[in-house]
Structure 1
């Protein structure tokens, strides 16, 4: 009887693949089983999808699972090599557990830049309708990184919610990424434009742009028609890699997985499924996360009342991150060295120089004259990441560092650009308060000095650069404003200085770069850079 039932199920599934409901057979290709997929040549056409092989132990009581990849990624990332952790066994484990699987192709698959959540969401919505009709039932979604945002756009803004029960987002930047803000800052734009990393997908990940997306999404009537599960990681990946260096830079904003802060993964109406010691690359591996999320995937029926779900998750993205970084950047002319001075006022720091060419020579000199280069033991060479693209990252990890002014010398044999990031560990930082979205012209920018008693207030200078959505500088901003000392209020642990933003600006997304310099009362110089994107308008 058991053998007959299995033959019957196999026959019905075979018939279903021959006569899919409202979906042409030539629109998708069934993949080989996981053990046979090595070397399989996949044709990626945005808007199409591939079915995984039907497992011999298929369980028809389980909804099919649709996998959605992240920015600049491909469908085969669910079964091919990861960046740092070998083969991704997600397809294999889902197959072995009896799940029917489907893999979608987004605009990013075309290799012509990456798309924003709305454009990818429209493609996903079309595919979800076809996939649900093909199987004759609702599906569940597993999405990685920005794929989680793209999938939500499909459900909410393109009315794909009837075809889906649940969505599990692995390390999704639901509130954007501070690395995206940094990539569009005054100092980094020289490099990110050069390497072609300023596209619609990267632009959409700025925190101000994602705040706009959240306002358009979180109170939409469709948002409560599916059940959302969020996840996060706390590892930065292998030491010395681009992912690890990005994680170190992001640590000023809290725990992160190397690209996305934990605070950015939450949704106010979502169910946070797990936070584990995984990095942004490994969290999508089946051996890392499949067992943890598999119980959720067994059915497409919501388990929490929609009325209660909105209040289930209370954690939100932080409003005023502490900045423990200083930034610099600009163009490089052939064989014309650039020398930059950086103030180090912490015992531990990381000095990173990103360039397009790997042939750029970088040296570092301490206040006492000690030289560091690529042969030094604290030198780390890394290549590329998901937000800064195909760049070369040279860094020096400083422990028990000399206090004072250090010199970075950068020389390229050809025309290039550089982005210099100095991250201070366990230092007294600055906080930036800026409204994420405003409908008024007078929106003050507030800079707060932690432990103000250690600074010389009269020495503090602030330089503000405001970039519009086209990457052009808004000229009306204040420049090099001296911030006078004032009496601290009782019980006040932060001294606050207010800098007005320009008035009469057009509605849109702006990137604010704030450079704060000065001296401590000991005479040690300090500098910090605060970067935030903000959507100004109705």
Structure 2
């Protein structure tokens, strides 16, 4: 056998003495909740599946179920509640933590406040959730009737076919994402529960930043910047702030869930981010 120095042999073989990543010791299972739209549905497992599998590799009992992507908060929450009850039954846990992206954060708030799950949720972490709505919803509603109807018909067809037992009501959903609806209806009627931790993150890219933006979002980013300031292409930084604000991610709305639409160019690791969120939950005993 060649007489290699130990260090040289290790470099050749690539072996490490302890190669497995550190376990993240979360106490509660984690349910990851996706937002509006179909982007992640074309990936194996759907929205946030890859991130959930990464967390499982780190020891977190993570789940990323899917609900109808183009339906209202109230309608989606019926399915979310069923999924959470399944997780509680399967794990034997008394409660779960929720990590919710975009509209999923509104779903989570509704589940806690209006569907009696406040005693089954330890924490809610929202990422780029439009807590104060998005002017992009008004942009859609301002389109000519024929264009708006075509967009709604296409979204509703996708929403009913892309997921088992799917349903859709895309136009009503868009109406409920306007700043006016969120400010005057949703937020006053969906108060935070004092026994639940509420944390939030915002995202930024494009205008007024040095963060690369997925080209598909350029028009939306510019439109929203003129009306709400710095944003991630769909949700402004100010709209995303809720509860304890944890910071701004240098990633647009698409890259926050591990997608780059084939364009690359951004230095953001979604798996690492969600692992850091899980570490924060573990640090407070959740």
TM-score, normalised on structure 2? 0.71
Displacement of 1:149: 0.5
- Helix, strand or coil at the partner of 2:246: strand
Note if 1:297 corresponds to 2:281.
yes
- Helix, strand or coil at the partner of 1:290: helix
- When residues 77 and 278 of structure 1 are mapped into structure 2, their CA distance, relative to the original with a 3 A threshold, is farther
Note if 1:131 corresponds to 2:103.
no
- When residues 164 and 251 of structure 1 are mapped into structure 2, their CA distance, relative to the original with a 3 A threshold, is same
Q: Of 162, 171, 176, which aligns to 1:204?
A: 176
Displacement of 1:294: 2.6
How many equivalent pairs are there? 233
CA distance in structure 1 between the aligned counterparts of 2:136 and 2:220, rounded to whole angstroms: 8
Q: Of 215, 218, 227, which aligns to 1:244?
A: 218
| CA displacement 1:276-325 (0-9 Å, x = unmatched) | 211001122333622442322216757xxxxxxxxxxxxxxxxxxxxxxx
Identify the residue that residue 30 of structure 1 maps to in structure 2: none
- Helix, strand or coil at the partner of 2:64: strand
Identify the residue that residue 66 of structure 1 maps to in structure 2: 31
CA distance in structure 1 between the aligned counterparts of 2:56 and 2:88, rounded to whole angstroms: 19
Displacement of 1:59: 6.5
CA distance in structure 2 between the aligned counterparts of 1:77 and 1:160, rounded to whole angstroms: 30
CA distance in structure 2 between the aligned counterparts of 1:115 and 1:152, rounded to whole angstroms: 16
- Helix, strand or coil at the partner of 2:279: helix
- When residues 88 and 135 of structure 1 are mapped into structure 2, their CA distance, relative to the original with a 3 A threshold, is closer
Q: Of 169, 174, 184, which aligns to 2:131?
A: 174
Note if 1:274 corresponds to 2:244.
no
**Residue pair 1:183, 1:192 contacting (<8 A) in 2 also:** yes
| CA displacement 1:383-404 (0-9 Å, x = unmatched) | xxxxxxxxxxxxxxxxxxxxxx
**Residue pair 1:172, 1:260 contacting (<8 A) in 2 also:** yes
| CA displacement 1:118-164 (0-9 Å, x = unmatched) | 12123222322332233222211111110110111111100112111
Which residues in structure 2 correspond to 1:228-377 (within 5 Å)?
228-236=198-206, 241-252=215-226, 253-267=228-242, 270-285=243-258, 286-287=270-271, 289-298=273-282, 301=285
- When residues 139 and 78 of structure 1 are mapped into structure 2, their CA distance, relative to the original with a 3 A threshold, is farther
Displacement of 1:117: 1.0
CA distance in structure 1 between the aligned counterparts of 2:102 and 2:138, rounded to whole angstroms: 17
Superposition RMSD on alpha carbons, in Å?
A: 3.1
Structure with greater proportional strand content: 1
CA distance in structure 1 between the aligned counterparts of 2:256 and 2:39, rounded to whole angstroms: 16
CA distance in structure 1 between the aligned counterparts of 2:91 and 2:80, rounded to whole angstroms: 16
- Helix, strand or coil at the partner of 1:104: coil
Q: Which moves more between the two structures, 116-125 or 143-152?
A: 116-125
**Residue pair 1:121, 1:152 contacting (<8 A) in 2 also:** no
Displacement of 1:72: 2.4
Q: Which runs of 5+ in 1 are unaligned?
A: 1-54, 109-113, 303-538
**Residue pair 1:75, 1:104 contacting (<8 A) in 2 also:** no
CA distance in structure 1 between the aligned counterparts of 2:73 and 2:229, rounded to whole angstroms: 25
- Helix, strand or coil at the partner of 2:147: helix
Structure with greater proportional helix content: 2
Displacement of 1:88: 7.6
CA distance in structure 2 between the aligned counterparts of 1:61 and 1:232, rounded to whole angstroms: 23
CA distance in structure 2 between the aligned counterparts of 1:293 and 1:153, rounded to whole angstroms: 22
- Helix, strand or coil at the partner of 1:133: helix
**Residue pair 1:106, 1:124 contacting (<8 A) in 2 also:** yes
Structure showing greater radius of gyration is 1
- When residues 56 and 129 of structure 1 are mapped into structure 2, their CA distance, relative to the original with a 3 A threshold, is farther
Displacement of 1:241: 2.1
- When residues 238 and 245 of structure 1 are mapped into structure 2, their CA distance, relative to the original with a 3 A threshold, is farther
**Residue pair 1:144, 1:170 contacting (<8 A) in 2 also:** yes
- When residues 256 and 152 of structure 1 are mapped into structure 2, their CA distance, relative to the original with a 3 A threshold, is same
- When residues 206 and 232 of structure 1 are mapped into structure 2, their CA distance, relative to the original with a 3 A threshold, is same
| CA displacement 1:95-133 (0-9 Å, x = unmatched) | 22211111223133xxxxx11111212322232233223
Note if 1:107 corresponds to 2:82.
no
CA distance in structure 2 between the aligned counterparts of 1:167 and 1:158, rounded to whole angstroms: 15
Displacement of 1:189: 4.3
- When residues 239 and 130 of structure 1 are mapped into structure 2, their CA distance, relative to the original with a 3 A threshold, is closer
- Helix, strand or coil at the partner of 1:134: helix
**Residue pair 1:259, 1:280 contacting (<8 A) in 2 also:** yes
The structure whose RCO (Cα within 8 Å, separation 6+) is larger is 2
- Helix, strand or coil at the partner of 2:119: helix
Q: Which runs of 5+ in 2 are unaligned?
A: 1-19, 156-169, 259-269
